[in-house]
A and B are shown apart, each in its own frame.
Chain A
Amino acid sequence: GQNIDQPTEMTATEGAIVQINCTYQTSGFNGLFWYQQHAGEAPTFLSYNVLDGLEEKGRFSSFLSRSKGYSYLLLKELQMKDSASYLCAVLLRKAAGNKLTFGGGTRVLVKP
């Protein structure tokens, strides 16, 4: 079966850095997405990795190691508005079409 693990909750201070880890055990890996979801809102796309290495986009970076089944999302210079859930999702190759499988999400609380 498919297994995607990420911590349930993390707390950090405004201005600090937080790293959210995601490990996965899947078959047919075709890329990894990170989504941000504020309470009561729709998930919004943050980043995508398909090759090993680091993708940087402003204050957010995402890293992938396919051999280790591991990714992390790095949030720098934390702001209060970064308090949200962060969802790790693996894109799987299926005969019926590519399919996203989500982890349980990591709730990040940014404190002043």
Chain B
Amino acid sequence: GAGVSQSPSNKVTEKGKDVELRCDPISGHTALYWYRQSLGQGLEFLIYFQGNSAPDKSGLPSDRFSAERTGGSVSTLTIQRTQQEDSAVYLCASRSRAGLAGGPPDTQYFGPGTRLTVL
């Protein structure tokens, strides 16, 4: 597609339920990143995919968080047994090594995010 898309845009869930967040990267982008952004804060790195493998998952806050990527494209971030502190905006970004119009190599292009609210 033309840009990174994420779904759902908003998700309200009850504490203890599982949620799945989806990211569709820019077509052809091999690298994909997940970040979390709490209100008024910067971006907190969660996990990085190169193709279907995750060489860096150091930012996942607990074993309740997991992510996968299939076909070198779509990625899902799963949060099990959600807690209120999981409430945040979850942003996905993709990157191509080659420079694109408007950005140098290694530029990450972000999706609109999923706003997760855990009641």
Contact = CB atoms under 8 A, between A and B. Distances in A.
Interface residues of B, number: 26
Nearest to A98: B106
Given A42-B91, A89-B43, A96-B48, 7 more contacts: A44-B110, A45-B103, A45-B108, A48-B103, A50-B104, A102-B44, A103-B42
A45 B48 contact: no
Interface of A: 30-31, 33, 35, 41-45, 48, 50, 87, 89, 91, 94, 96-105, 107
Contact of A45 (B42, B43, B91, B109): B109
A10 B87 CA distance: 27
A47 B41 CA distance: 20
Contact of B43 (A50, A102, A107): A102
Nearest to A87: B42
Contacts, number: 58
Interface in B6-51: 31, 33, 35, 40-45, 48, 50
Contacts of B42: 87, 102-105
A102 B107 CA distance: 13
Contacts of B50: 97
B104 A99 contact: no
A100 B45 contact: yes
A99 B102 CA distance: 20
Contacts of A31: 104, 106
B72 interface: no
A88 B80 CA distance: 31
Contacts of B41: 104-105
